[in-house]
Structure 1
Amino acid sequence: MSAPLDLSYSPEVAEATKPIYDRVKGVIPEVEWPFHAPLVAAINRLKKERNAVILAHNYQAPEIFHTVADIVGDSLLLARKAAETDADVIVLAGVHFMAETAKILSPEKTVLMPAMDAGCSLADSITAADVRLLRERYPGVPIATYVNTSAAVKAESDVCITSGNAVEVINSLPGDEVLCIPDEYLAKWVATQTTKKVIAWKGHCEVHERFTGEQLKAYRTQFKGDITIIAHPECPPDVLAEADFVGSTAKMQDYVEGQQPKRVLLITECSMADNLAATNPAVEFVRPCNLCPHMRRITLSNILESLQTMQPQVHVDPAIAGRARQAVERMLEVGKK
C-alpha cells in the first residue's frame, strides 16, 4: 500500500501554487487557499503521472475550474474535446451524462467520475422507453435529444443537440417537424428560432426553472435599468422574454468577454458568474445564486481520490454506446459543416 499523501500547506506548496492563486484571488478568499492548495498541487502532479486530463463544466466551483481543469467549457465543447484528447485518462468534473458522453466518444480511454451520484434532473426526466413510445406516436419525425440525457436515451435518438447548437442542428434535419427532448423550455425557445414545428417533452432543469420573469423585473428596478441580463435557454419563457441576451453558457461567456457590460446578471448556475469574474475584473456580476446540487458533488478531494485509485470508472454497454455515438457524432458533424 502506498504511503498517504502529505496534504499540509507547506512553504513548498505555497510557493508552487502561488501563480495559480494569483489567477483566482479575486474569487477565492485568501483564508481558503491553504485548504485548497495542497489538493491542487497533488492533483496536478498526479495528472502528469497518469497522463490524465480534467474536463470541467462551466458550472464547476472556481477552485476546480481555474486551478486543476485542463479543458473547460459547456457540454458541446467538452463533448468535442473528449473525442480529441490524446490523454489515457479523462476525469470528468461535471455530471454523470457528461462522463458517459466522454466514454461513448473515447471508448478506449479510462473515464473517471469522481462522484457517481452527480446526476441531472433533465437526464432523469426521460427514459429510453419513453423515446421509443414517442417514435411510435410520431412516426417519421426526427428526434433531437439534448446531451443532458443518459446514453440509453441518446441511443434511441436520431441526433443530439446542446443549447449552443440546437437551432443549427434542428434546421439541418429533414421535414417540417422535430421532436426536441427532454427540456421543454429549450424546445420552446428553439421554436421561436426556426420555422419547423417543434414538439416538446416536459423535462426541466431544477436550477433554471426556479428563475422567474418577476425576479428579473425586480433587478431592473433595483438597478434603475443599468444592468444587462443574460439568460440560458433552459429558463422558462417569461424569463427569456425579460432577458437582453439568450444563449448557451459558451455564448454567455463570449457575450461578456466581447461586450464587457458594466453590470451583468447571469441567469444560470451561479458558479459561472464566479468563474467569469476571475477573468473579467471590469465587469460587475450580480449573483442570484441558484446552485446545482449535482455539480457541487464534485470536489477537489474526490478528484484527487479518483486519480489515486483510478475509480470510479464509467462504463457504457457497447451495444448502447455504438448507437449513442452515432447520435453524438451526427451532432458534431453539423458543427464541422
Structure 2
Amino acid sequence: MGETAQILNPDKTVFVPGMIDGCTLADSIDAPTVRRLKKEFPGYTFVCYINTTADVKAECDVCVTSSNVYDIVEKISNDKIYFLPDKFMGSNLAKEMTKRGVKKDIKFYNGVCYVHEEYSPEDIQRIRLEYPGAKIVSH
C-alpha cells in the first residue's frame, strides 16, 4: 500500500514499518498472473482490491476498497466480473450481488490474508470469554 501512496503522492515521504513487512494478500498475486487470467477469462472486467501492488492494479480495469466494492461492481455494465485477489471478499461480493438481485457472473482469485484465514468468529468468541472486557482490534 505504501507503493500506491508514493505513486499518488510523489512529493510526500511515505513511511513503511520495515522493508520485510508486507501483505500476504498483495503477495498472493502478481502482474504476470493477472495477464494469464485475462487470457483465460476474456471478456471479463477485472476488479482488484486496493491491497494489491501497483503492477497488479495496472493490469486491472477497476480498483476498489472494501467500502465501495459492492456499489462499484453493481454499476459495472459488464456482467462478467473477475475479482482479485481476496477469495473471502470475492465470495462475499458474489453473495451480496445475489442478495441485491444483481445478475453477475463473478469469478474470484484464491488469494488470502493469513490473518483473515487464521482467525475465526469462534476464536474471537473464545478470546472474549477468556478476557472479558478486552477490546478486539482488527486490521
Structure 1 length-normalised TM = 0.36
Q: Deviations over 1:200-243 (max 9, x none)?
A: 111111111112354356579x59xxxxxxxxxxxxxxxxxxxx
Moved beyond 2 Å, runs of 4+? 107-114, 212-220, 284-287
Distance 1:176 1:113, change over 3 A: same
Residues 84-233 of structure 1: pairs in structure 2 closer than 5 A: 98-194=1-97, 195=102, 196-215=104-123, 222=129
Q: Deviations over 1:156-209 (max 9, x none)?
A: 011111111111121121211211100000100111111222211111111111
Q: Distance in 2 between matches of 1:218 and 1:128?
A: 39
In the TM superposition, what is the alpha-carbon distance from 1:118 to its structure 2 partner?
1.5
Q: Secondary structure at the match of 2:83?
A: strand
In the TM superposition, what is the alpha-carbon distance from 1:129 to its structure 2 partner?
0.4
Q: Distance in 2 between matches of 1:213 and 1:206?
A: 15
Which of 1 and 2 has greater Rg? 1
How many aligned positions are there? 133
Residues 270-289 of structure 1: pairs in structure 2 closer than 5 A: 284-287=133-136
Distance 1:108 1:189, change over 3 A: same
Distance 1:219 1:158, change over 3 A: same
In the TM superposition, what is the alpha-carbon distance from 1:114 to its structure 2 partner?
4.2
Structure 2: stretches of 5+ with no match in the other structure: none
Structure 1: stretches of 5+ with no match in the other structure: 1-97, 224-262, 264-283, 293-337
Q: Deviations over 1:99-158 (max 9, x none)?
A: 111112122334333422210000110010010011111112111101111111111011
Q: Distance in 2 between matches of 1:219 and 1:102?
A: 35
% identity of equivalent residues:
38
Root mean square deviation, CA, Å? 2.6
